[in-house]
Structure 1
Amino acid sequence: MNLILLGLPGAGKGTQAASIVDEYGVPHISTGDMFREAIKSETELGKEANSYIEKGELVPDEVTNGIVKERLEENDVKENGFLLDGYPRTLNQAEVLNENLSSAGLEVDGVIYIKVDTDVLMERLTGRIICADCGATYHKLFNPPKVEDTCGQCGGKEFYQREDDKPETVKRRIEINESLTNDLLNYYSDPDLIITVNGLGTPDEVFKEVKEKIDKLKASL
């Protein structure tokens, strides 16, 4: 099976990706993992990607597209398919992916979209707090300190939020990703291709729905 995994930040893509890989044995292709591997292997594309990453800049589409193309040509993909996670992120990437798959005689079988309302995502992503004394991480709702306002590791009383976790930053990040994701959902608009999953349950509950829908897709291939 050749699958794409979509979802906004905080939707639980990473958790579901791990479960899908464990259940179906498809190679998990994550752009972050690929960048790290290409940089470690010192491929030409890896060196180019690293030149942007070291400066804190976004890796251009053409570099990302090239690294993904290289990965899709490996034997495990040819034998077992793939689960693309974090790619495509833009329409350009989706179009290039389609061209690369077509030239290899492949196609996307399903696009799994983990849907979670933005207010829930805000709640999930802005709740992280960090102990200023020892760096222990908590979540205001899902993993609060056992004693209110007191770090369970060191007894510290001061907590802070990373810039990435502050509401205004998270809101902007969600808005940008929501626009990009909507573009991709429109691009993959075939109802037989899109697999929408409710991401509001526990990880196990969400995966139960994911599995049911993948099994149904698999039976139809």
Structure 2
Amino acid sequence: MDATTKPLRIPPEMAVYAEEHGVFEIIQKMVEKLLVDRPEDTIQYLIDHLRNNNDDAPRIVILGPPASGKHTMATLLGKRLNATHITPENLLSNDVSLLAKTALSYKHKGQEIPNELWTQLIRERLSEVDCVKRGWILEGFPRTREQALMLQMNGSTPDHVVVLDAPDIVLIERNMGKRIDRRNGEVYHTTFDWPDDPEIQKNLVEPEGISEEETGQKLLEYHRNIPGILRTFQKVHKQINADQPCMDVFSQVLTFVLSKPRSAAPHTPRVLMYGPPGSGCTLQAALLAQKYGVINISCGQLLKEAVANEKKYEEMIAPYIENSQQVPNTFVLKILTERLGRLDSSTYGWVLHGFPRDTEQAALLSDAGFQPNRVFFMDIPDDVAVERLSYRVTDPVSGERYHAIYKPAPSTEVHQRLQKNPKDAEESVQAKLDMYHANMEDLEEFYQNVIHVNADQDPYTVFEFIESCIVNPLPKSVPEDPASP
């Protein structure tokens, strides 16, 4: 870049690289860690931090009243995310920790373990290799706002706080049916999760503190403390209804913990919309351009403008357009990259539709340095696409478009002069649909993190979904569950 040249332009490849590798988030995380830990040797500290490569490791807290399913959710998440499951109980069972022995001495005397000692215990545990490398899931802590603030002060801040909730009457019923295997501490329930093995049944015992009166006292204490805890983790918590089937709760919890917090990094939308004819790509691109100021680039319209305005392209591509033939990729890419490379596209972002149509075109676009950061596939049934297009007609006098079903002509006079474009004939539409289906799977494989959109609904409902996917970060990827088929 030449600093003497105005305006100063940053090559688009730099933004693509920064977004792809999360450069802004890496620097932000390093600054946060420096301010919390304040190491003496900052350079070596940052080198060690980068070597750990654990910024995406899960850091999750699971809270909830008694019998809300905290232990079950934490166990399932630990297995699915391969993260370390931590509870106050297993913190105290650490035989080699002096802090754990000190905390146990308080417990044996029947005294409350000080909050400062709890947070030191947690910090010590979270600094161990398994938590640093694989991440952690902390169950049932903090229990008060003071404990939550201490966690923040010592740098043990979670990225996600799951708060399970259910009516008190349901929780009391659940708690009274709880049984524990005295050999390994596994939890069962007389109604919902009774073991089939008679040997396990013999070892089940009723835990202490599950009577209706004791459970009620614990619920009162929980309801008194939870508002302050939620204020501490205001931007990273989500309350989930635990009064539903276990796997439904887990699905919602997993979706939440895989979501990423909104980044403060500069974000330039580079949106690619791909769909069959009649799926609404043109309308959705126009809505995005209208609301966010991104540059709306229609490949077909761009080629027509090139023929009309640019003499150097007229002789090359005019014959193809006049005969309704596909323009060679070389000519299309030359016109398209010139438009994508303009200053307004680099500054405000772009939404592209009509190109690419196959993996060859997608590879050419990528090789030219234009990589979308959101790819939407607009999905509609073939019969809906045919219905949308084959009943479409135009008034040659006013240029207004009508539809025999959704937008009929306002008068008999207008209806009699309506004309149908030959490209909207059912046979022509079906041929385009066949071509779309032939290339869809290969394009989906080419572009990672494709977002499928149900385009067979109200256009503004579709737009709201697309908008949310652009504004919010893409969720974290997680390995497939080995237990799933």
> What's the TM-score, normalizing by structure 1?
0.80
The size of the alignment, in residue pairs, is 208
Alpha carbons 1:136, 1:153 under 8 Å: kept:
no
**Of 453, 456, 461, which residue of structure 2 is paired with 1:200?**
456
State the percentage of identical aligned residues: 28
**Of 372, 376, 383, which residue of structure 2 is paired with 1:108?**
372
Pairs within 5 Å for 1:70-219: 70-101=338-369, 107-128=371-392, 138-145=402-409, 152-154=411-413, 161-188=420-447, 190=448, 193-217=449-473
| Equivalent-residue separation in structure 2 for 1:160 and 1:71 (angstroms) | 33
Structure with more relative contact order (C-alpha pairs < 8 Å, separation 6 or more)? 1
Amino acid across the alignment from 2:459: P
Alpha carbons 1:129, 1:137 under 8 Å: kept:
yes
Rate the CA distance shift 1:200–1:156 in 2: closer, same or farther, 3 A: closer
Matching residue of 1:149: none
Alpha carbons 1:6, 1:111 under 8 Å: kept:
yes
Higher Cα radius of gyration: 2
**Of 18, 23, 40, which residue of structure 1 is paired with 2:308?**
40
TM superposition shift of 1:42 = 2.1
| Equivalent-residue separation in structure 1 for 2:273 and 2:327 (angstroms) | 20
> What's the TM-score, normalizing by structure 2?
0.39
Q: RMSD of aligned C-alpha atoms?
A: 3.0
Q: Any unmatched runs of 5+ in structure 2?
A: 1-268, 477-485
TM superposition shift of 1:160 = 6.9
Amino acid across the alignment from 1:185: E
Alpha carbons 2:293, 2:348 under 8 Å: kept:
yes
| Equivalent-residue separation in structure 2 for 1:131 and 1:69 (angstroms) | 35
| Equivalent-residue separation in structure 1 for 2:319 and 2:409 (angstroms) | 40
SS at match of 1:217: coil
TM superposition shift of 1:156 = 6.4
Amino acid across the alignment from 1:9: P
Which piece of structure 1 moves more, 34-43 or 197-206? Answer: 34-43
| Equivalent-residue separation in structure 1 for 2:467 and 2:400 (angstroms) | 34
| Equivalent-residue separation in structure 1 for 2:400 and 2:285 (angstroms) | 26
Matching residue of 2:280: 12
**Of 313, 318, 342, which residue of structure 2 is paired with 1:50?**
318
| Equivalent-residue separation in structure 1 for 2:351 and 2:395 (angstroms) | 36
Amino acid across the alignment from 2:388: R
SS at match of 1:53: helix
Rate the CA distance shift 1:156–1:62 in 2: closer, same or farther, 3 A: closer
Give CA deviations for 1:18-42 in whole Å, capped at 9, x if unaligned. Answer: 1111222211121123223323342
Alpha carbons 1:115, 1:196 under 8 Å: kept:
yes
TM superposition shift of 1:44 = 2.9
Give CA deviations for 1:179-206 in whole Å, capped at 9, x if unaligned. Answer: 2333322211x2xx31221111111111
| Equivalent-residue separation in structure 1 for 2:322 and 2:420 (angstroms) | 24
Rate the CA distance shift 1:170–1:51 in 2: closer, same or farther, 3 A: closer
